[in-house]
Amino acid sequence: MQVLTAIVGRLVKAFLTLLAIAILNFFLLHAAPGDPAVVLAGEAGAADEQMIEQLRERFGLDQPLYVQLGKYVWGILQFDLGYSFRQGAPVSELIADRLPATLLLTMTAFGISLVCGIAVGVAAAARVGKPSDTILTTLALLFYATPLYWLALMAVLVFSVWLGWLPGFGYETVGANYTGLERMLDILKHLILPALTLGLFFMSVYMRMTRASMLEVSQLDFVKTAKAKGLSGPAIRRRHILRNAILPVVTLAGLQAGQLVGGAVLTETVFAWPGIGRLMFESLAARDYNTILGVFIVSAAMVIFFNIVTDLVYRIVDPRIGATA
């Protein structure tokens, strides 16, 4: 019951946040340079007075601001994100087409970074002060300071251009017309480089956090008790320290979800991965504000979704939270 109330509470909060972002979006759209009607008319190829007037009326641009705001928010609630004249399609359709690719990329990168980050962090903490720990920590520090897009470019250069091991471009082999399992394997091959480069940065973040958290928890009294009971080192680490140390890492992972979506813009741009990040990049050059803001609001929704999921995971990992909340 408590869990249910908590979930409903989270959903209400998520809805209010999205509403606020929609309002912010509306004002940003209005701050965009140029009269939207003139811009629209120009993009449609006919910028005469009559056309502009017609457009104003059609899109309700002649109405007071609050009416426009209400209409805009109402539209967003119905998944209407406006129309992209550059691409000649509704923004929601453009995004729906590209969303699966982004979800595949970000989820894979998220999984890789969390699992590997925690594993490496535990390994480093177990060898604290030894050369192998120093090497792992230094590597993490280095990846933390590396621009994502540059790492991606270098990965393309080394593994795709020089070694020829993996494709460094696109989502699948164009013109190969693979089907079924073959197609899945082809997509997987294309996924490896983007997912790894996007994951590496976050892996370094989780690794550092896990290591620090493991070291901190291992100082606590119950660990001494476990030692006194005669438990082996690995058993203590796995069953006693890690279970407690992992909590801040899960919290952090939830907070980092937004970064992951932002990172997808860069990764998708470099790898020509046909996701919403790439869509945003393409719309930037064209200054297609409807699409840019559409991607923005969808990515915000994704972050809110990620946060709810981490919140639930958090409750599973630590039953104490459900009991007190």
Partner 1 sequence: MWKRFFSNIGALIGVAILVTVIAVALLAPVIYPQGPWQMVQRPFLPPFTVDGLPLGTDTLGRDVAAQLAYGARVSLLVGLVSTIVALLIGVPLGAAAGFYGNMVDEGAMRFTEFFQTIPNFALAIVLVAIFQPSLASITLAIAIVSWPPVARLVRAEVMSVRKREFVDAARVAGLTPRRILIAQVLPNTVSPIIVMASLMVATAILLESSLSFLGLGDPNAMSWGYMIGAARTVIRSAWWLSFIPGVAIVVTVLALNLIGEGLNDALNPHLARKARA
List of residues contacting partner 1 (CB under 8 A): 17, 20-21, 28, 31-33, 141-142, 144-150, 153-154, 156-157, 161, 205, 208-209, 211-213, 215-216, 219, 252, 255, 257-259, 261-263, 265-266, 269-270, 280-281, 284-285, 287, 289, 292-293, 295-296, 299-300, 302-304, 307
In the bound complex, what is the minimum distance in angstroms from residue 306's beta carbon to partner 1?
10
d(CA 209, CA 122): 10
| Of 184 and 220, CB closest to partner 1 | 220
Largest Cα span, the chain: 87
| Of 147 and 170, CB closest to partner 1 | 147
d(CA 29, CA 59): 14
**Hey, is 115 helix, strand or coil?**
helix
| Of 4 and 161, CB closest to partner 1 | 161
Kindly report the number of other CB atoms within 10 A of residue 171's CB atom.
22
d(CA 246, CA 244): 6
DSSP 8-state symbol, 241: I
In the bound complex, what is the minimum distance in angstroms from residue 24's beta carbon to partner 1?
8
d(CA 297, CA 25): 8
In the bound complex, what is the minimum distance in angstroms from residue 315's beta carbon to partner 1?
19
| Of 109 and 148, CB closest to partner 1 | 148
Q: Which tokens belong to 9?
A: 């509470």
| Of 139 and 231, CB closest to partner 1 | 139
| Of 92 and 283, CB closest to partner 1 | 283
In the bound complex, what is the minimum distance in angstroms from residue 224's beta carbon to partner 1?
17
| Of 56 and 208, CB closest to partner 1 | 208
In the bound complex, what is the minimum distance in angstroms from residue 275's beta carbon to partner 1?
13
Contacts of 72 (CB under 8 A, 6+ apart): 22, 25, 26, 29
In the bound complex, what is the minimum distance in angstroms from residue 6's beta carbon to partner 1?
17
Would you list the DSSP string of 298-312?
HHHHHHHHHHHHHHH
d(CA 274, CA 276): 7
In the bound complex, what is the minimum distance in angstroms from residue 212's beta carbon to partner 1?
4
Contacts of 6 (CB under 8 A, 6+ apart): 311, 315, 322, 325
In the bound complex, what is the minimum distance in angstroms from residue 150's beta carbon to partner 1?
4
Q: Can you list the positions of beta strands (E) in the chain? A: 83-84, 89-90
Nearest to 194 by CA among 160, 233, 238: 160
Q: Which tokens belong to 20?
A: 């606020």
**Amino acid at the residue 318:** D
| Of 219 and 324, CB closest to partner 1 | 219
